[in-house]
Amino acid sequence: MTSIRTYIILLFLGLGLQQVHSQSYHFKTSGFSVLEKNERGKWGEWSNLDLVNLSVVLDTDKHRIVVYSQEIQLFNILDYIEREENDTDIVYSFLCKDNDGKECKLSIITRKKQDYRKQLYINYDDHIIVYNIFNV
């Protein structure tokens, strides 16, 4: 477990965060969009990007990610997935359970070719929520 925490700390040092001592990392959102599967199980289209200013906290001490929306979204981290990187993206993913006990995968993706823009993806079997995020 210690190596996972060290790994996460190094990740966020690389993302330019300042509060390493607390192992709590803070983001703000600037917008979100949703993608849903239709009745036939096929993915539809992304919704229009809605502007939204929310706080997001990754707390590695408590093993959770919290999105402070009107209804608080709490994701308990079950497993830390190894970092992935390719020519366009750096991806840090977490297997989680949400407030309702549903399993999902959260990913923080840094888009290398888009001025290192960051996004938080919340992936369920039948829908995906994406938030554009930035460090605070």
Residue 12: predicted pLDDT: 52
pLDDT value of position 28: 98
Across the range 124-134, mean pLDDT stands at 97
Predicted pLDDT at 23? 85
Q: Domain range for residue 26?
A: 2-135
How many residues are listed for the chain in this entry? 136
Q: How many domains does the chain have?
A: 1
Mean pLDDT of 118-131: 98
Which string of b and e fits 4-41 if b means at least 16 CB within 10 Å?
eeeebbebbeebebeeeeeeebbbbbeebbebeeeeee
Q: For 29-51, how does the pLDDT look when each residue is reduced to its tens digit (9 = 90+)?
A: 999 999 999 989 999 999 999 99
pTM for the complete prediction?
0.82
Distance of CA 80 to the CA centre of its chain: 12
Q: How many CA atoms, within 13 angstroms, populate the side-chain half-sphere of residue 73?
A: 19
pLDDT(88) > 80: yes
